[in-house]
């Protein structure tokens, strides 16, 4: 398009020249003004980079002089080197700031031209829900600054599905985000990378659920550790290893045996496809120590163990890694025992005699008093303190006079974990409430029982009750819900 120039009375446009030639005093001369592309301040024009200096860039836009882009108008980044932003011969867009400054120069801005174009793209993306791509240029308090042509803010909580401990690793990286907040008047753009990742994972999650079956052993990475267990990323969806499924031995906290980032082999125990929850087991991929008990020991055998827990109705003794048996209070000493702590303490090493092996229910009943020549830990402590030892000289017993303790039915009732403080019966109302809570939890019964017992131990304990009293288990899902990860798909997978 050529510009029509109104000639002076001395100049006439040569017919058929499209205004490119003028006749002045009988002479034909070029009309240079007609070769300039018309533009106004505030418009975006295109040109070719012809020179790069340390503080400015010259661009040929077909005007009577080159346009000047100062270095601070090249990019929204701070303290940029012009040589890093443009190359000689590169075609660039620039917004005209002033057609002629005090020095007669045409001043332009590359970043403002990109800014205008970027705003149009961002507004379109926000309306359509499509993601935008930019490069991380700054790490600031609370998140990242992303160069979209406009400075976009990506909050730290929306960088990934889970919390990112070190945001510096994203510096200089191109990332794809969704626009979740836009305010043109304030130049405010808020982004979410997490929304893009969640959308990608939605399809992956369903594919994984369709592929997984109970009984499969799969590989995953520990993504989060909480009091009630550990979450495992199965390449798109999280599963939960309840604390009771971590090890055959007692675990006080999952962090004792796992770290975030560990790669583990886990067994799929249960899948709730409607709620997209997966229950996993770690101990099921390891040797079951209980089988060693069944294969190696018989009723009447004596062996050494360590007291792991003392409760109102007796003490638990670990005879193998991961295998504990109960010494009922009546089997602690030949003399009457009011409180098991009078005889043993956690950490005491004692010899025990096997009274009962319940292989079906994985329960082991032991006796300390029936071991011949047994010196009770309480006697050792009393002698060291120069005090008379209670019941000193009491002899061992044999298995013919073992009282009917009902250990498999009464003492162990209320949960599978041998380290729980439980007893024979609970009031009917509490039993009904416990069964309803476990049913509602969605966790396997074993996991629910262990979570209940762990919570019961943490609660204030009333005065010692008769041996046949028991507390009903609460719902472990309340515990899970309180500490579940922030990510929508990182909730407990029961």
- Does the pLDDT at position 98 exceed 50? yes
Q: What is the pLDDT of residue 45?
A: 82
CA angle at residue 20 from 19 to 21, to 5 degrees? Answer: 95
Domain edge (last residue) among 373, 404, 421: 373
Q: Which of 278-282, 355-359, 384-388, 426-430 has the lowest mean pLDDT?
A: 426-430
Q: Which residue has the tokens 């010692």?
A: 464
**171 shares a domain with 133:** yes
**Average pLDDT score over residue span 375-391:** 75
Contacts 24+ apart (CB under 8 A), 196-202: 196/131, 197/160, 197/161, 198/161, 198/487, 198/488, 198/489, 201/161, 201/236, 201/237, 201/489
- Does the pLDDT at position 407 exceed 70? no
CA–CA dist 177, 387 (Å, integer): 74
Name the nearest CA neighbour of 331 among 283, 360, 374. Answer: 374
Neighbours of 93 (CB within 10 A): 16
The 10s digit of each residue's pLDDT in 218-247 is 999 998 899 999 999 888 788 999 998 998
**330 shares a domain with 275:** no
Q: In terms of DSSP H, where are the helices of 347-469?
A: 377-384, 428-441, 445-458
CA–CA dist 232, 238 (Å, integer): 5
**Average pLDDT score over residue span 148-165:** 88
For 44-82, the DSSP string reads EEEEEEEEE-SSEEEEE-SSSS-EEEEGGGT-SSSS--H
CA within 13 Å, CB half, 390: 15
Percent of the chain residues past pLDDT 90, beyond the cut: 23
Asked if residue 432 belongs to a domain, the reply is no
**Average pLDDT score over residue span 460-482:** 42
Q: What is the pLDDT of residue 209?
A: 83
Q: What is the pLDDT of residue 412?
A: 47
Asked if residue 5 belongs to a domain, the reply is no
Q: What is the pLDDT of residue 313?
A: 92
**280 shares a domain with 302:** no
Q: In terms of DSSP H, where are the helices of 174-300?
A: 193-211, 289-296
- Does the pLDDT at position 360 exceed 50? yes
**85 shares a domain with 70:** yes
**Average pLDDT score over residue span 167-176:** 92
- Does the pLDDT at position 433 exceed 70? no
**264 shares a domain with 279:** yes
**320 shares a domain with 361:** yes
Q: What is the pLDDT of residue 253?
A: 92
**364 shares a domain with 296:** yes
- Does the pLDDT at position 289 exceed 70? yes
The pLDDT confidence band at residue 131, using thresholds 50, 70 and 90, is very high
Name the nearest CA neighbour of 491 among 194, 243, 226, 235. Answer: 226
- Does the pLDDT at position 38 exceed 80? no
Asked if residue 465 belongs to a domain, the reply is no
Domain edge (last residue) among 267, 285, 303: 285
Sign of CA dihedral 357, 425, 476, 448: positive
Question: Do 243 and 451 form a contact (C-beta atoms < 8 A)?
Answer: yes
Q: Which of 269-278, 281-290, 388-397, 479-488 has the lowest mean pLDDT?
A: 479-488
Greater confidence (36 vs 183) lies with: 183
Q: Which residue has the tokens 């996993």?
A: 280
Q: What is the pLDDT of residue 101?
A: 80
Pairing of strands 44-52, 91-98: antiparallel
431-to-393, 428, 480 alpha-carbon distances in Å: 43, 5, 22
Asked if residue 255 belongs to a domain, the reply is yes
**267 shares a domain with 220:** yes
Asked if residue 491 belongs to a domain, the reply is no
CA–CA dist 99, 111 (Å, integer): 17
Name the nearest CA neighbour of 3 among 43, 44, 35, 39. Answer: 35
**275 shares a domain with 225:** yes
Asked if residue 237 belongs to a domain, the reply is yes
248-to-281, 290, 346 alpha-carbon distances in Å: 11, 9, 19
Per the structure, the count of domains in the chain is 4
**Average pLDDT score over residue span 155-159:** 92
**217 shares a domain with 190:** no
> Domain containing 236: what range?
212-285
Domain edge (last residue) among 55, 80, 114: 114
**332 shares a domain with 319:** yes
Asked if residue 478 belongs to a domain, the reply is no
CA angle at residue 317 from 313 to 321, to 5 degrees? Answer: 145
CA–CA dist 396, 482 (Å, integer): 50
CA–CA dist 260, 253 (Å, integer): 14
Asked if residue 236 belongs to a domain, the reply is yes
Greater confidence (213 vs 395) lies with: 213
The pLDDT confidence band at residue 143, using thresholds 50, 70 and 90, is very high
Q: What is the CATH number of the domain that holds 140?
A: 2.40.50.140
pTM: 0.43
**176 shares a domain with 139:** yes
Greater confidence (314 vs 395) lies with: 314
CA within 13 Å, CB half, 55: 0
Greater confidence (400 vs 308) lies with: 308
Neighbours of 378 (CB within 10 A): 21
């Amino acid at each position: 398009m050529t510009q029509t120039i109104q000639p002076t009375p001395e100049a006439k446009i040569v017919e058929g020249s499209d205004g490119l030639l003028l006749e002045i005093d009988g002479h034909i001369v070029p009309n240079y003004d007609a070769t300039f592309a018309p533009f106004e301040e505030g418009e975006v024009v295109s040109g070719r980079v012809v020179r790069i200096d340390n503080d400015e860039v010259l661009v040929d836009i077909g005007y009577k002089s080159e346009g000047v882009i100062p270095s601070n108008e090249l990019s929204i980044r701070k303290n940029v080197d012009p040589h890093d932003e443009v190359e000689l011969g590169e075609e660039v867009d620039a917004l005209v700031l002033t057609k002629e400054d005090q020095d007669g120069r045409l001043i332009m801005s590359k970043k403002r031209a990109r800014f205008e174009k970027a705003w149009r793209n961002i507004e379109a993306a926000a309306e359509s829900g499509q993601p935008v791509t930019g490069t991380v240029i700054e790490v600031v308090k609370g998140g990242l600054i992303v160069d979209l042509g406009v400075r976009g803010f990506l909050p730290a909580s929306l960088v990934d599905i889970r919390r990112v401990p070190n945001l510096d690793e994203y510096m200089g990286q191109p990332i794809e985000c969704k626009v979740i907040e836009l305010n043109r008047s304030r130049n405010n753009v808020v982004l979410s990378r997490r929304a893009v990742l969640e959308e990608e994972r939605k399809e992956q999650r369903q594919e994984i659920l369709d592929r997984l079956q109970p009984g499969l052993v799969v590989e995953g990475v520990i993504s989060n550790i909480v009091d009630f267990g550990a979450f495992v990323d199965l390449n798109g969806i999280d599963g939960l290893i309840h604390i009771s499924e971590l090890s055959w031995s007692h675990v006080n906290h999952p962090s004792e045996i796992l770290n975030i980032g560990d790669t583990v082999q886990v067994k799929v125990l249960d899948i709730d496809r409607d709620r997209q929850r997966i229950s996993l087991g770690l101990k099921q991929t390891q040797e079951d120590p209980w089988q060693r008990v069944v294969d190696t020991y018989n009723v009447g055998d004596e062996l050494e163990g360590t007291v792991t827990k003392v409760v109102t109705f007796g003490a638990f003794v670990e005879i193998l890694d991961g295998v504990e048996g109960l010494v009922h209070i009546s089997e602690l000493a030949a003399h009457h025992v009011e409180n098991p702590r009078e005889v043993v303490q956690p950490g005491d090493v004692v010899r025990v005699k096997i009274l009962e092996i319940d292989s079906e229910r994985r329960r082991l009943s032991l006796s300390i008093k029936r071991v011949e020549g047994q010196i009770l830990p309480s006697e050792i402590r009393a002698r060291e303190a120069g005090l008379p030892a209670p019941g000193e000289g009491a002899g061992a017993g044999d298995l013919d006079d073992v009282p009917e303790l009902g250990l498999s039915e009464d003492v162990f009732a209320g949960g599978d974990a041998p380290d729980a403080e439980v007893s024979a019966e609970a009031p009917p109302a509490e039993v009904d409430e416990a069964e309803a809570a476990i049913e509602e939890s969605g966790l396997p019964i074993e996991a629910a029982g262990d979570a209940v017992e762990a919570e019961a131990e943490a609660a204030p304990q009333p005065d010692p009750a008769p041996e046949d009293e028991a507390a009903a288990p609460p719902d472990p899902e309340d515990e899970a819900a309180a500490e579940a990860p922030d990510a929508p798909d990182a909730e407990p997978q029961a």
